[in-house]
Structure 1
Amino acid sequence: MGNHARNLGANRVRTLLAVLAFTPGEVVSVDLLMEELSTDQDSKNPKNALQANMRRLRISLESVTGVPGNLLVRTSANGYLLDLPPDAVDAHRFDGLATRGSALLHTSPHEAARILDEALRLWRGQALADVAGGLRCNAYANRLAGRRLGALEDLYEARLSIGREAAVVSALEQLACEHPERERMAELLMLALYRMGRQGDALAVFQRVRAWLNTELGLEPRKKMRRIQEAILMQDPAIDAGLAFAGR
């Protein structure tokens, strides 16, 4: 809540809040909520269990916001809704900022970097780390994790386009090792290394990713990565001008 972490109690209460926060302002059906909670602990009467945990959620929210819980979590004929604007939920605020920053990459990279940095500062660890939910929670957490990596790639592309290779190369080296499947991350690393005078290291990144793709997926690097490798081998001056070789 706000800029502070708050303990909302039992896992089922946190799971309820997470599922409602996926779509603030929209009704989430009773059946969907019961299904998500059923993965946590079986109940002989899932509807009663849902109602009991919803009461606990409202009490917890009221205790940390001062707003009556039944105004924050409203009951409808078919389910419940979290009565908050999307920007009140960090995940949605992050998504909006990341989209804005990405749209500015090629027209205003300084502004793109500022907005993307603001978006990424909203992260405080792994998505839904304290929620042991069901399929929807897991899927949403995975989507957010992928979205975060995409925003990081956008941020590093923006910084590369304004000549800040030294500021991003260490982070890119770590992320490229952790996520060998993300070719764009490796492409950005290759560009950063080459522009810092480390041609051999840039080419080694290509070989490492190529070996991983061959072994794990039976694939070759995508066309864009091969173009970057060829440009590095030829020491093409265009590779130093803007980000003609970067992007998605």
Structure 2
Amino acid sequence: MTTGESSGLEVRVLGPLEAVVHGRPVDLGGPQPQGVLAELAAVPGRTVSVGALVDELWGPLPPRDAHRTVRTYVSRLRAALRHVTGGDAATVLVTRPPGYELRVDPGFVDAWRFQRLVTSGQQALGAQPRLAFERLTAALGLWRGDAFAEFGHLPGIAAKSEQLERLRLSATEARIESALALGLDAQAAAELEVLVRAHPTRELLWGQLMIALYRLGRQADALGVFRVARALLREEHGVEPSPALSAVHSRILRHDPSLSGAGRSSLQGTAVIGSTAVVGSTVLQ
């Protein structure tokens, strides 16, 4: 049995920070102690030095007693955990020179569970679209808001949040592909019409929307989507649609039979998946 299992502690960072023990919330105190826990939860099972915590919490001008203050925050967090668990919280928030470690199985931190589910779902995508859809749906269901929502002012945490948000979008694209492979075209189209407005530089989303509409018998709308995407890319980014997106357009024009059947990768036969077309800072992949 791991420490996470024995303590019952689960840390949730895919939204506002939460710590729960067997479903009971832990009062984590103010923003600074919460920041310490967030830093440790970002790398469960690894030691974060007191110096690194000081740098993250206060930047280049920490107070003179910053190291002692960090130790006080850890003591408060342990007390809060002890109040809920009744056990020895020092076995979860462990002192390991030169700092501290959150000693839980990564599976008890939602961000790590999310990443495992995404990896598993993406691996299943080609041969097992139903399994991919289920795992990617489960992964995305862990989100309750922005990752590490209240810690955007902490540079290290903000970088981790950006990584998770990028993976969230990639997981969304993969889940939509699995939905199209399962013939869930109407569901995918409804979701994609929102997503292309939120992420207009993600050409894969535009391509998926075009295919979903075409498979719903809406060829004119699918071609209209391409015109909208092309105009946006030209006017706002000064680039033409990638060869991958243009290939989807061409396949729709010639009524390519491979676009129609469920039970296969929705973009099979094009270069959309795995291409390296770049729009601004976005890689189509």
**Relative to structure 2, which stretch is displaced further, 80-89 or 50-59?**
50-59
Query: Structure 1 length normalisation: TM-score?
Result: 0.92
Query: Which residue number corresponds to residue 237 of structure 2?
Result: 217
The code of the aligned residue for 1:13 comes to: P
Query: Which residue number corresponds to residue 113 of structure 1?
Result: 133
> 3-state DSSP class of the match of 2:114?
helix
CA distance in 1, matches of 2:222, 2:29: 49
> 3-state DSSP class of the match of 2:94?
strand
Among 132, 157, 161, which residue is 2:181 paired with? 161
Query: Which residue number corresponds to residue 181 of structure 1?
Result: 201
Confirm whether residue 28 of structure 1 aligns to residue 48 of structure 2: yes
| Shift of residue 156, structure 1, vs aligned partner | 0.8
The structure that is strand-richer by fraction is: 2
| Matched-pair contact (CA < 8 Å) for 2:121–2:136 | yes
| Matched-pair contact (CA < 8 Å) for 2:26–2:80 | no
> 3-state DSSP class of the match of 1:8?
coil
> 3-state DSSP class of the match of 1:154?
helix
> 3-state DSSP class of the match of 2:36?
helix
**Deviations for 1:198-224, whole angstroms, at most 9, x for unmatched residues?**
222222222222223223332222221
| Matched-pair contact (CA < 8 Å) for 2:151–2:158 | no
Structure 2 spans left out of the alignment, 5+ residues: 1-19, 274-284
Structure 2 vs 1, CA of residues 61 and 218 (structure 1 numbering), >3 Å: closer, same or farther?
Answer: farther
**Relative to structure 2, which stretch is displaced further, 141-150 or 212-221?**
212-221
**Deviations for 1:74-112, whole angstroms, at most 9, x for unmatched residues?**
111211110001101000001000100000001000111
**Relative to structure 2, which stretch is displaced further, 5-14 or 177-186?**
5-14
1:49-198 matches, within 5 Å, as 49-198=69-218
> 3-state DSSP class of the match of 1:191?
helix
The structure that is helix-richer by fraction is: 1
CA distance in 2, matches of 1:33, 1:103: 36
Question: How many residue pairs get matched?
Answer: 248
The code of the aligned residue for 2:220 comes to: G
Identity %: 36
Among 65, 75, 84, which residue is 1:45 paired with? 65
Query: Structure 2 length normalisation: TM-score?
Result: 0.81
CA distance in 2, matches of 1:140, 1:146: 10
Structure 1 spans left out of the alignment, 5+ residues: none
Instruction: State the Cα RMSD in Å.
Output: 2.0
CA distance in 1, matches of 2:89, 2:238: 53
| Shift of residue 233, structure 1, vs aligned partner | 1.6
| Shift of residue 7, structure 1, vs aligned partner | 4.2
The code of the aligned residue for 1:215 comes to: E
| Matched-pair contact (CA < 8 Å) for 1:101–1:115 | yes
CA distance in 1, matches of 2:173, 2:111: 18
> 3-state DSSP class of the match of 2:101?
strand
> 3-state DSSP class of the match of 2:149?
coil
| Shift of residue 192, structure 1, vs aligned partner | 0.6
The code of the aligned residue for 2:44 comes to: P
